[in-house]
Amino acid sequence: MSISKLMRPATLVPLILFAGLLAVPILAQAAGELFWISFFTRILIYAIAASALNLALGFGGLVSFGHALFLGLGSYAVALPAAHGIDSGWLHLLLSLGVCSVVALAVGAISLRTSGMSFIMITLAFAQMGYFLLVSLKQYGGDDGLAIATTSRFAAGVDLGGSLTLYGSAWLLLALLTGWIAKLRQSPFGMALRGARQNARRVQAIGLAPRRVQLAAFVLSGAICGLAGMLLANMNAYASPSTLAWTVSGDLIVMVVLGGMGTVFGPLLGALAFLGVEEWLKSYTEHWMIIFGPLIVLMALLGRGGLIGLLQRLDQPLAAKAAPAPPDAVVVQKGHV
């Protein structure tokens, strides 16, 4: 990436934000405000989940209202083994990736036979099925949820139950995921996926199968969302069927749209704005939702292209100033050849 592109607001602001997030635990401990570590951990985890959804929604044009299913399955991939005294982080990781991948493959294969509103409703139906399945597990708490006594533990004493370890893991995962998505966006797969969103028939005409490309993106999206669920369970030391509620899927969609669909850094900005404004309003009034709803709508209407779109519009005058001046025009006067 060139220096000029690196210095543009749409790239520079997210990079500064990443660096600032890395300093949060140090500043929070210095100020004695450990709440901020927990709060920003939540932002990082939801940014991972929103990035996963962005892969299907922003790049693939798949409006999934059921991604809370994978967030919930990732949480229970930690809670159910922990209920039997199994605290192996590697097993939790394998279960969250494996279960969410298989379920996403089944959900995607069925849902992609439809499009538009039908696709939205089918993904929502699968999430609701998962919700009622977990509610029916009375031996694991039912609708009251399940407390996690032993969090995910890896080798060398790494335990995701520790606030600093969890924060660092979430930050690192989000950084790696963001870099991977930036590469994937420009890869042949990413271009085929974006092409399938714009015109599936043209993609099919050049010999590619758009449904298979979209299904692969949906499976990847579900698996990554399961990782976010695993981190969320370790943060809360608790798993609940409410994680699979349709409102959680709606929150993820708002984060993606607010940050900028189909962009690399959009989900992080969207999660930060969504959860930050929510927390700020909660500190002033218990009726914060009355203000929060219209405010989100207003931000979405004014910020076309999301927050990244606003930053890109700031790029334009800077790019115009940085562009080389055109050579002097040759003036041909009347009467001269």
Residue 164 has pLDDT above 50, yes or no: yes
> CA–CA separation, 250 vs 104, rounded Å?
18
Q: What is the pLDDT of residues 61-82, one digit of tens each?
A: 999 999 999 999 999 999 999 9
Q: What percent of the chain has pLDDT over 90?
A: 61
What are the tokens at 199?
A: 């015109």
Residue 287 has pLDDT above 90, yes or no: no
- Which span out of 150-159, 169-178, 253-262, 278-287 was modeled with the highest average pLDDT? 169-178
- At residue 160 the predicted structure's pLDDT band, cuts being 50, 70 and 90, is very high
Average confidence (pLDDT) over 199-209: 84
Average confidence (pLDDT) over 13-39: 89
pLDDT of residue 296: 77
Residue 214 has pLDDT above 80, yes or no: yes
pTM for the whole thing? 0.90
Q: What is the pLDDT of residues 223-254, one digit of tens each?
A: 999 999 999 999 999 999 999 999 999 999 99
What are the tokens at 50?
A: 């929103």
| Mean residue pLDDT across the chain | 87
DSSP 172-206: HHHHHHHHHHHHHHHSHHHHHHHHHHH-HHHHHHT
The helix (run of H) or strand (run of E) holding residue 156 is: none
pLDDT of residue 329: 43
pLDDT of residue 62: 92
pLDDT of residue 79: 95
Q: What is the pLDDT of residues 258-285, one digit of tens each?
A: 998 989 999 999 999 999 988 888 888 8
> CA–CA separation, 215 vs 168, rounded Å?
31
pLDDT of residue 215: 95
Average confidence (pLDDT) over 185-194: 91
Question: Residue 91 to residues 141, 143, 151: CA-CA distances in angstroms?
Answer: 22, 25, 12
pLDDT of residue 6: 57
The mean-pLDDT minimum among 25-39, 124-138, 262-276, 292-306 falls in: 292-306
Domains of the chain: 3-314 (1.10.3470)
Return the number of other C-beta atoms located less than 10 Å from residue 298's C-beta: 10
Q: What is the pLDDT of residues 303-331, one digit of tens each?
A: 667 888 888 877 666 555 555 555 554 44
> CA–CA separation, 293 vs 176, rounded Å?
32
DSSP state of 303: S
pLDDT of residue 318: 53
Q: 222 and 107 in contact (C-beta within 8 Å)?
A: yes
> CA–CA separation, 161 vs 74, rounded Å?
16
